[in-house]
A and B are shown apart, each in its own frame.
Chain A
Amino acid sequence: MAEIRPYGDATGDGQVQLSFTLPVGASERGRQAALELAKKMGFDRPQVVHMDGMGPDYTLFIVYGSTTHTIDPDTVEVREQDFPTLTYPEVNRVIRESLKRQLVVVGACTGTDAHTVGLDAILSMKGFAGDHGLEYFQEMRVVNMGAQVTPEEIVETVREESADAVLISQVVTQRDAHIFHLREVREALEASGQRDRLILVGGGPRFSPEQAEELGYDRIFGRGTRPSEVAAYLAWRTSQMKPEALVG
């Protein structure tokens, strides 16, 4: 494929709409500042189509412009889903054949976050978006620890339950607390010597899958993940791990 540009209403016009707020009053000076800023962003012939003061000190601008940049889609790197999509009976069958017993999943929200909505969406029978959660799978046994669980409590429960997989959720966060808390759990599991035999999964709306490596997790699931995706991943990953690694 060749270089492409955004499509407004004609091929190659490069048209982009954007909106932003500047800490400036709604004035001719403000409008010019918005236009100059748009040019610095790489927009050719920008137009301010709407300027609205929000109090004396801030102004909302809606700007159209033609970007001077192009992209060749063949040159971008993409991360394709690297595990198979499995149906409900397939997930159960793969676990049964790999483990000859139930897969034990421990899930928790850690840190100060009290929001279990993400964790419950993935774990609970009820599930999310028409998908049943992991509790629905007969070959999984789920221990939902709820919110504000400390890394030490997670380590202890993983040991008591002989867990095979650990799911850590972070929904509400500020100043990268979600990253800090996920690392804390991973470090605690490492210190307890259990990390290597576990499938360690993190999730939440602020994460992206690329963060798995830097966080030391096997997989990170982001916004909009459905329980069936997590179930398929856990089953597939179980089948990939050497049986002797799964000593649960």
Chain B
Amino acid sequence: MNTDRRFVRPVGRLLVDRATIDECRDLAAQIAAPIDELACTHTTNSIERASLRLGGVDGVEGQGTEAIPIPNRVVDEVAAAVGLERGVLIPFWHAVESGGEDVDTTARRIAGRAIQPTWPEGDAYDTALSRAQAEARAAVERIAGAAERRRVAIEGVGEAEKPWLYLIVATGNIYEDIPQAQAAARNGADVIAVIRSTGQSLIDYVPYGATTEGFAGTFATQENFRLMRQALDEVGEELGRYIRLTNYASGLCMPEIATMAATERLDMMLNDCMYGIIFRDINMQRTFIDQHFSRMVHALADIVINTGEDNYLTTANAIDAAHTVLASQFLNERLAISAGLRTEQMGLGHAFEIDPKVPDQILLELAHAQLIRECFPDAPLKYMPPTKHMTGNIFLGFLYDGMFNLVGALTGQDIILLGMMTEGSHTPFLSDRHLALENANYVFGGAAGLAGELRFEPGGDVERRAAQVLEECRQMLQKVGDIGMFEAIEAGMFGDTVRLRDGGKGLSGVVRRHPAYVNPISDLLAQRLGVS
């Protein structure tokens, strides 16, 4: 296996109009402003639950599939008793301070309606506030500590060379995922993603404990995170390279999953500013507010986010919609900056999805991938393999994945999700993953050096195509800027899908903050990250 990949990010290989790129960034900033405003003036039930989790509230009430997480119960009880407009933390820490019981007991008593949450006044308020602030300081330290623990772990076993080869496991059973993930790492995978059970994005709570049943994936739970992180640490020790773990901070529980990821030292999280709105019909306000909080957590924990632009190409024509990918990347970048993420944490996504029957398909893919590299020279780009045009012809599919790897190598894509030749016809066999790694190791080993040598013909087809996509992106951002982001989504400008401001799932969990709203966790996060 060739591990000498000599990774380079080739930049300056295409003549792209820097002024247009700057204009796109300015437009993205203008478009994002009302979203930042929304995020700073609202909270959601999931942000409140995340804030309780960071204070040590955990566990479930009830058994099996009927079990309800205690953080959900406490937030519901506080909402019913005093409303959520001022946040859950003051009533909760007041209950702890005045009841004389520990966090777990107090939370369970509130869940069991043995304690009725109240809003304290006077000295009781001050006591609750100081406790909330002290707990917030500790919580924020723990989040920041994840970054430090990762740094130490990488120093201990050694860093993986780029590009990082990203493989998915998804058995539904965490105890079966573990040996598969370890086998994948031994075969050369650098990043393991545990796909979630289908539908988890639409449930408004986080399941609890180690899970062994899931549908086409494994539930994201804190215990599953812990078990897998531990297993990858073990195999990383054996292999002498740090194996990264990925999951999904998306759906209705984005903020809570982000805090779980930080606590258990996950390394990358799928976290897109619009994916839930467009592809899961989650309310747009809910998504925008939640993504801001979750991104602040990721920022401080030094987690790399992966954005989901590849999804725009799985339904639309990958040539016609190429500029929508770039436009979404500029927006994702802007909203990441607003939440304090550094460029090195922005795993902006895109995909190799042009119909292979189109003449010059590879030229076009190369133009798109290089354009994105030029626009985001320091971002760890995440490149997704072909899915839409994969057929049962696994032989051609294997070659097609090889071409994807080649374009990825030539344009210096950092994170390579490995294509499976059985994509679209079967869930991957153990051998499919092995062959995918062989394919990637061959191409990245053989072509990495070429990335540093390659130039494109000035004024040639690659350059002209890149210029066209960039200009179409500018025009799209201009249009979105003219009518406003919420209105653009309502008009179906993203993913050809109409979503209404008050439509979709999760709107009932969106609450406008009262002037007396208190959440020292988000305040401290913002302060540490230097964002508003």
Measured CB to CB, the residues of A under 8 A from B are: 19-21, 52, 54-55, 58, 60, 111-115, 117, 120-121, 124, 126, 146-148, 172-175, 177, 205, 223
Contacts and interface: CB of A to CB of B under 8 A. Distances in A.
Interface in B213-235: 214-216
Nearest to B214: A174
Interface stretch (B198-206, B285-293, B340-348, B518-526): B198-206
Given A60-B434, A112-B199, A113-B199, A54 B187 contact: yes
A21 B183 CA distance: 14
Contacts of A120: 315
Interface in B377-416: none
A114 B434 contact: no
Given A54-B187, A115-B198, A147-B202, A126 B429 contact: no
A54 B314 contact: no
B496 interface: yes
A129 to B, nearest CB: 10
Q: Is the interface of A mostly helix, strand, loop or mixed?
A: loop
A54 B431 contact: yes
Q: Which 10 A-B pairs have the closest CB atoms?
A: A112-B199, A172-B216, A172-B198, A60-B431, A54-B434, A174-B215, A114-B199, A21-B431, A174-B216, A55-B183
A148 B431 contact: no
A52 B434 contact: yes
Give the most central of A54, A111, A146: most B CB within 10 Å. Answer: A54
Contacts of A112: 197-199, 215
Given A21-B429, A54-B431, A126-B496, 19 more contacts: A54-B183, A54-B430, A55-B183, A55-B187, A60-B431, A60-B434, A60-B435, A113-B215, A114-B201, A114-B280, A115-B198, A117-B315, A124-B496, A126-B315, A147-B199, A148-B199, A174-B172, A174-B215, A205-B424
Interface residues of B, number: 25
Nearest to A113: B198
Interface in B490-532: 496
Nearest to B281: A146
B186 interface: yes
Nearest to A57: B183
Contacts of B198: 112-115, 172
A55 B238 CA distance: 13
A220 to B, nearest CB: 18
Contacts of B316: 126
Give the most central of B186, B316, B431: most A CB within 10 Å. Answer: B431
A58 B182 CA distance: 13
Contacts of A20: 431
Nearest to A61: B431
Contacts of A21: 429-431
Nearest to A112: B199
Contacts of B280: 114, 147
19 contacts: A21-B430, A21-B431, A54-B187, A55-B183, A58-B430, A60-B431, A60-B434, A60-B435, A114-B199, A117-B314, A124-B496, A126-B496, A147-B199, A147-B281, A148-B199, A172-B198, A172-B215, A173-B216, A223-B425
Nearest to A19: B431
A174 B213 CA distance: 10
Contacts of A60: 431, 434-435
Contacts of A115: 198
Contacts of A174: 172, 214-216
Nearest to B427: A174
Contacts of A117: 314-315
Contacts of A205: 424
Give the most central of B214, B315, B316: most A CB within 10 Å. Answer: B315
Interface string B249-289: 00000000000000000000000000000001100000000
